[in-house]
Structures are given as structure tokens and as C-alpha cells.
Amino acid sequence: MSLFQSDFWKDYIVVILLTVILGAGVAAGASRALEAFLGAAVQALLGEAGQYDLIVHVRESSRSAAAADLPRRLAEVHPDILVREGVALAGNANFFVKLPEALYTQAALEQLAARLSAVPGFNGYSWMLEPSITVTGLRAGMRDLLALEAARLPGVRAVVRHGASLTVLLTSVEEQRAVAEALERRLSGRHIVELRWPEGAAADVEGAVRAVAERLQPRTLRDVTSAPGTGGSLERLGAELAGAAEQWQKLLEAGAAAAEAAEKLGALLDALEPALALAETPEQQGERLSEAVRSGDGADAVGQALFRVVLTNVLQALAGEAAAAGGGTLPLHELRAALQALAEDAVALRQLQEEDVYAAFETLRELLPAAAGATVAELLVDEAVTPEAVAEAVREATGQAVEAYASSPGVVTPNPRGVVVELLANARRAVAGLIAVAVGLAALVLDHAAVLAAAEHMPGSRRGRPWLAALSGAALVGATYALAGGGIPYVGPGAAFVLGAALGLLVMAGARRFSPVAEEEIVAGQALGLSDGQIMREIVVPAGRPGLMTLLNARRRTFR
Amino acid sequence: MLQVVDLHKRFGDRVALNGVSLSVAPGETVVVMGPSGCGKSTLLRCINRLIEPDAGDVFLAGRSLRAMNEAELRAARREIGFVFQHFHLIERLSVLDNAALGLVMAGMPREEAEARALAALERVQLASEANRFPHQLSGGQRQRAAIARALAGGPRLMLWDEPTAALDPVLVGEVLDVMEELAQERSTAMLIVTHEVRFAAGAADRVVLMEEGRVVDEGPPAVVFGQPQTNVARQYGRLLAR
């Protein structure tokens, strides 16, 4: 291309380099300013990132006791743990806890969480570790397996298991996408198949795993059955019980009703006791009735005698068999004692607090796992392996009539701040990318359209014009995009170079319109024996639109 | 000085030049005439390769222009002054700079180039307008400025592409006067494309008549117009006789 046989090419390259550097600076600066502005707004809303690591929820009624107990208890773990009491919400006092760096390990975090249940009024806790990703809906076995795998991922600082979730603490927020994708890869395309043996049957879990492996040959097969004492079915039982607040309320109401009923029954007994004390045998009743008739005291005396007979029979009917077995007399002292016990139980029921219920659940977890684990197995297999196929394989191999159900292995959910930070970073990248494209396009129109339009009239440069346009566009847009950290969805760095080349060709097609050049002046220059580079420097560029090239060229041209 | 040998040029289906051959001796003035579209302007542009001919050759002082590389061609072009119909002045440059541009770009020191440019402007009686810009000049002045630019390099050959065609009739005279003076000086060979039959009859050593991309008649003006052999010659003869 004759245009580049002169030293004009140096100017051209310098202009492209300067455009890329300045454009990338503008794009990166503007996008980071936008991110900082939006980030400040987010921080005002959510608080400073990493300010606290944990919120301990305590029943508001126990706030004072917890305020004294929690710092002391946490100081035993590490003297540098900071505790600040926050606002009370929905009946819960909240204590914000900041942990020292030394505690950012799985063992330390999980042990710390285990200690919290002893805090007076303890009503749960929430991890605020940042930056982090949380995986929810995990079976205990799956959770433990994933915890091991996640801990080995690059960018992961620590993992914390809690309930049916796993919180993965990252080394930096930039790792969020990569780690989330790595966790997604471990979950997607797989599911948990839960095998249930009939009640009382001796489950052959090993045989079942072997049967699935041999008969279905899945790419993924892991026994993630919850180990005894770590949850599993009981984990879910605990979760279900913990979530049964409504049923708990009904239970309390039933207790109150029972206490009231027992009280009223007691009062009724007190009222009836004198009458019951007069209860007579049928023989005595017959004699009393005959006496009343014989005495001639009249209808009143007969009526009273009849009333006693009826009342006695009614009471005996109420007492049922117990009264009959007692030879016709009611065991009033036993009835009274039973009512008293019922009333006391009801009062005790009303006095039960959630902590006692949770304690009961924990006891259940300790007592029941062996029985639950014995009849349930959980296998992580490919999604293509259906529960029906698994059940069939186990039945055929072991002869055991098992039932199989499929469920999701877990869901990756970056924490809200992480999502917002990720969104802001995406927005920054998109803005940087858009600015980079705009800068590249502006440079093409302002600086390069004149050159491309003029090259059309230069026989030595005409053929290479499309290459010049495509390469200039690719360099301007692609390099600016990459340098500015641009990230428009679906437009990677490679695509940005292609986009730039396309824009270069587009500008070339409309070069005359974007930057009209006087063809006759170019022809005059050619007739005077000027080179293409001289024509560009002395005739075309000075007459072009103001831009970086015009600015640089002004210092180099001879005729100012 | 100039030899054009069997020059051919097509634009798509249209034949612009169909085997044109002619020659211009040093100091000779040759006028090319013919109806519009007969290939006159194309011939001039093919001579200095502003348009690349399809076939044939052009020799300047015995050197083939078609065989030249770009650098040689640029050097050859500096020996050929070209005057365009529409002046083709650089609008952002002063008249003096327009005239000096080719010299400075060829490597001549700026002062020397400007002195020669000023001398060329004096030859066309435009030195007083040296520092003005093209848009500040009349059409005749602009064309004289363009002539000065072509003359400034001291060309061996001057190519004139209808230099008066874009001028108001009242301004044509001042340009023709300059052309006549140059022709009389006989310092430069001149190949002039024009419809100015009186100028041709008075100033040309030879007249070349073209029609449909070919040379149809050639000779001294008195012979070509006085004893016309072609319809084109007869038409110009009648115009001259009016």
C-alpha cells in the first residue's frame, strides 16, 4: 500500500496507539466512576462490606442476659472478636459479630456457631461472611461432600456448613463468578436419588450402590447418605419441625384449652361431691323410696328420693366402668388427681419456650439417626439416571423392594451483596465496553474516515483500503475494549476485534459521507508529484474533521 | 519531448481511447480538439498516469512513463505541469503556497520554492494576490494561479485540460492571453485540450482532432481547418469562419 511507503504510517500507528490508550483510560475511568457512585449507594443501603461476619439472633426478652453472656462466651473463643448490639426486629434482638482473620477457617467458624446455642434466648444466627457464595437445599451428605470439594477450589478461603446450606467464603469478590461456576458444574446435570427401604427391613446400601454402578453405569455415582449423628433424614425432620411454628402455636392453644377444661371439671367435681357422698346402693334407694311413700310426707319427699336415684345413676354412668368396677362408687380421688396433673401439664406447656423445643429437636437428632439411616440411602447420580431405573436396579440386584425419589442436589446462590457487587462489576464492564466501542467508532469517523475516503482516489492504496479499514477498526475498538476491561454481554475481547473490523469496513463504505474529501485537491497533489503520504499530511488530514490525527498532523505538516 | 503510442483505455463497456498516438516536440504547442466525450481529457490524464491506461505507452523525453515505479513517476510528474478545467487549487493554502507546494514537497528549500512560485505568479500577473486564498479570487485569477502552480516547477511539458471551459466568457480572455504568451515563448512543450478554435488557429503549431477515442485528423491549423477532411474539422472550420 503506497500510503504506507511514506512516513505517514508512523503517524497513523501513533494515532491508533494514542487513541487506544486515551480511549481505554476514558472508558475505564468513566465506568469505574459509575461503579464507585453506585457502589456508594449500595454501601449506604447494606452497610460496609465485611463490617460484620455474623448476626446472632436472641429473643428480645433475653436481650440483657445475652448481651452479657455472648461477648464473654465469644471472648473465650478469641479475644479479638467484636460484638455490637443492633436493632431488635420481629421479637429478636440482633448482635453483630466481627471475627478476626484468624477465625476464617472452616473448623473455627463451625465450632463458633456450635457454641452459640448456649447463649440465653438464642434464636438462630445468620452468616454475613463476604465475599461469599451460599449453596442451599443440600442434603447433609451432599453438603459435606461439596464442602470438601469447595475448599479445594482456587479463590476459596473457607467453607462453613450450617443446616442444609454451605457458605463458601472467597478470597476476593472477583472470584465470585469463577467459584460459582465451579460449584454449579458440580451440581448441574446431577440429582440426588433417595432410596427408601420398607420399615423394619435391613437395608443393603452397599449392595444398592454396587447395583446402580454395575447396571446403570452412571458417570457420577456417590453415596452421600447422611452419616449417623450428622442429620440426613433427621436433618430434614429437624428442619420440618423447626419450620412448624404454626403447629407449635396450635399446640400452645390446645394446652391452654386443656388447662381450662381441667379447671372447670375440678370445679364441677367440687360441686357434686356432697351429692356423691350421699350416693346409695339400689337397695338403700329402694328402702328410702318406700319410706317416703309410706310416711305420707307427700309428693315432695317422693320426688326428692326419685331425684337422688336418677342423679346417682347419671354419675355412675359418667364414671363408666371404673365406677362399676368400684362396686357402684366413683374413684373421685383418682379423677381429681388426673385433672390436677392435666392442668399442671397444660400450664407447663404454655410456659415452654422455643429454646426448649429446639433442645428437644436436638435430642431427637441424637436419638433417632441410626434408625433413620438404616432405611434410607442417598445417591448422587447423573440426571439421566432416573429414580425408577435406580429402584429397578436395586430391586433386581438385591431383591429388596425399595422406593426411589429424585431431588435437586442444591442451589448456588451468591449472597445479596455479592450479587449487587457482581451486577455493578458487570455494569462497569458493559459501560467500559460501550465507551470503548463509542471511542473506537468516533476515532474511525473523525480521524480515519478522511484517510479511507482519500485512499479511494489513490491507485496505489485503493486495493488495500478494506484491509486498512478492518485492521484500524479492529485495533481501535478491540484494543480499547480489552484495555478498558470492557464486558458487554456476548461480546468478548475476540468479538470486540471482529466488531471493530466490521465498524471499520462500515466507516469505509460511508467514508465520503463521514468526511468529504476534495477529490480534485488529491488529483492536483498527484499531478504535482506528491506522494500519497504527502497528500495525506498536507491536503487530506488538514481538511478533515478535527480529531487526534488532525492534532498530531498539525505539528508535522510543512504548510500550516 | 512527448510521444504517445497506441494508447487504449476503457471504462467498463465504454471505449475512451482507442489506439491514440501523437507526439509533441520541445517548445511545440499542440491543441487537441473534438466533441465532448471523445476522450480528450482521458488522454491527458493517461499521459501522466492520473488514469492508468489499459494498453499503449507514453514516453517523456524518451522514457516510458508506464515502466516507471511510483517514485520515478512522481519525479516525472514534476516535469509535467497540469492545468485543470476546474483549477484544483488547495483551498486551505494561499496562492503562493499553492504554487510552491510541489517544489517544497520535492525537497526544495522553502525560501527558494517561494521565490520560484512568486516568479511564476508574476508571469501570470498574479503576484499581487500571492497571499490571498483561492476562495478570495475570481475564476480567471484562480485559473491563472493554477497555471502559475504548473509553471513554478519549470516543466518540460504542460498539459492543459480545457482551461477556459469553467470560466465566465468575460474571464476567458485573461487566461487565453497567458496561454498565448507561453506558446510564443516556446520554452515549454504544450498539449492543450480546448474548444477555443480561434486560440487553436492562432497559437497552435499543430491541431489534433479526435472522435470516439481516436485521432481522426492532424496537422497545422491552416490545413486542418482550411482544408477539412472530416466532419469534425468542417464544424470547427465553420466556427472559425464566423
CB contact under 8 A, A521 and B88: yes
pLDDT of residue A415: 67
Q: Are B148 and B179 members of one domain?
A: no
Domain count, chain A: 1
Ranges of H-type helices in B124-207: 139-152, 169-185, 197-203
A154 has a pLDDT exceeding 50: yes
- Give the mean model confidence (pLDDT) for residues A190-216: 80
DSSP E strands, A211-298: 221-223
Backbone angles phi and psi of A131, in degrees to 5: -80, 145
CA distances from A104 to A49, A72, A112 (A): 16, 20, 11
**A456: pLDDT strictly greater than 80:** yes
Taking CB atoms and an 8 Å cutoff, what residues of chain B touch A542? 92
Asked, as a colleague might, if the bond just before A282 is cis with ω within 30 of 0, I would say: no
| B84 assigned to some structural domain | no
- Residue among B50, B75, B110 whose CB faces A527 most closely: B50
DSSP at A515: S
List of chain A residues whose C-beta atoms are within 8 Å of the C-beta of residue B76: 529
pLDDT, tens digit (0-9, with 9 covering 90-100), for A494-540? 999 999 999 999 999 998 888 878 889 999 999 999 998 899 989 99
Q: Is residue A69 part of a domain?
A: no
Number of residues that make up chain B? 242
**Contact (CB<8Å) B88/A527:** yes
Interface test with B, best of A535, A556, A559 (most B CBs within 10 A): A559
Higher pLDDT, A486 or A6: A486
Confidence label for A253 from pLDDT (cuts 50, 70 and 90): low
Q: In terms of residue numbers, what domain contains B41?
A: 2-79+156-241
Q: Is residue A82 part of a domain?
A: no
Residue A463 main-chain phi, psi, to 5 deg = -70, -35
pLDDT of residue B121: 94
Task: Among B134, B154, B174, identify where a domain stops.
Answer: B154
The answer as to whether A148 is a domain residue is: no
- Cell (9 digits) for B72: 520515478
Is B47 an interface residue toward A (CB < 8 Å)? no
**Does A530 contact B74 at a Cβ distance shorter than 8 Å?**
yes
Please choose, from the candidates A426, A398, A2, the residue with its C-alpha nearest in 3D space to the C-alpha of residue A209.
A398
Residues of A in contact with B90 (CB under 8 A): 521, 524-525, 538-539
Q: How high is the pLDDT of residue A266?
A: 66
CB contact under 8 A, A531 and B70: yes
| pLDDT tier for residue A321 given thresholds of 50, 70 and 90 | very low
A259 pLDDT band, cuts 50/70/90, is low
* Residue ranges of A 520-549 with Cβ closer than 8 A to chain B: 520-521, 523-531, 534, 538-539, 542-543
- B136 close to B97: Cβ distance less than 8 angstroms: no
Residue A91's region, left for phi above 0, alpha for psi from -120 to 50, else beta, is left
Residues B186 and B171 in one domain: yes
What count of other Cβ atoms lies within 10 Å of the Cβ of residue A264? 11
The CATH code of the domain that includes B180 is: 3.40.50.300
Cell numbers at A249, concatenated: 402455636
**Residue A501 neighbours by CB under 8 Å, 6+ apart:** A470, A471, A473, A474, A478
**Rounded mean pLDDT, A399-427:** 78
pLDDT in tens, A361-408: 555 555 544 444 457 888 888 888 888 888 888 888 888 788 888 888
End-to-end alpha-carbon separation of chain A, Å? 27
A528, A534, A545: best to mutate for the B interface, most B CBs within 10 A: A528
Q: Using CB atoms, which residue from B75, B91, B97 is nearest to A529?
A: B75
State mean pLDDT over B79-101: 93
**Residue A412: what pLDDT?**
81
Count of residues in chain A? 560
* Residue from the list B52, B97, B101 with its beta carbon closest to the beta carbon of A528: B101
Q: Which of B135, B154, B173 is the last residue of a domain?
A: B154
Residues B138 and B72 in one domain: no
Least confident of A77-81, A243-247, B124-128, B195-199: A243-247
Q: Indicate yes or no: CB of B105 within 8 angstroms of CB of A529.
A: yes
Write the DSSP string, B34-101: -STTSSHHHHHHHHTTSS--SEEEEEETTEESTT--HHHHHHHHTTEEEE-TT----TTS-HHHHHHH
Q: Which residue, among A139, A137, A143, A70, has the nearest Cα to A106 in the 3D structure?
A: A143
Instruction: Print burial letters for A202-213: b (CB count within 10 Å at least 16), e (below 16).
Output: ebbbeebbbbbe
Q: What is the DSSP string of B4-18?
A: EEEEEEEETTEEEEE
Whether B25 has its CB under 8 Å from any CB of chain A: the answer is: no
Find out whether A404 and A194 touch, Cβ atoms under 8 Å. yes
Query: Which amino acid appears at position B232 of this protein?
Result: V
Residue A165 has φ and ψ, to the nearest 5°, of -125, 165
Structural domain boundaries, residue A476: 2-38+418-556
Do both B162 and B237 map to the same domain?
yes
**Best CA proximity match to B34, nearest among B168, B242, B241, B231:** B231
Stated pTM of the model:
0.57
Q: Does one domain contain both B71 and B180?
A: yes
For A107, A111, A231, B181, the CA distances from A227, given in Å and listed in that order, are 18, 19, 7, 114
Cell numbers describing residue A98? 466481627
Determine contact, residues A90/A124, Cβ cutoff 8 Å.
no
SS3 A512: helix
Q: Is B80 on the interface with A (CB under 8 A)?
A: yes
Residues of chain A with C-beta less than 8 angstroms from the C-beta of B87:
520
Predicted pLDDT at A68 = 85
Angle at which helices A282-295 and A299-325 cross, to 10°? 180
User: Looking at residue A244, what is its pLDDT?
Assistant: 45
Give the mean pLDDT of A203-209. Answer: 79
pLDDT at res. A382: 84
**Is residue A339 situated within a structural domain?**
no
Chain-chain contact of A521 with B91 (C-beta, under 8 angstroms): yes
B107-116 pLDDT tens trace: 999 999 999 9
pLDDT tens-place string over residues A487-496? 888 888 899 9
Q: Quick check: ipTM above 0.90?
A: yes
- Is residue A301 domain-resident? no
Instruction: Specify whether B197 is located in the same domain as B144.
Output: no
Find out whether A44 and A415 touch, Cβ atoms under 8 Å. no
The whole-angstrom separation of Cα A183 and Cα A177 is 10
Q: Give the 3-state DSSP-derived string for A80-125, with helices as H, strands as E and coil as C.
A: CCEEEECCCECCEEEEEEECCHHHCCHHHHHHHHHHHHHCCCEEEE
Domain count, chain B: 2
Most confident of A355-364, A406-415, B191-200: B191-200
What would the mean pLDDT of B85-110 be, rounded to a whole number? 93
Using an 8 Å CB-CB cutoff, list chain A residues near B89.
521, 524
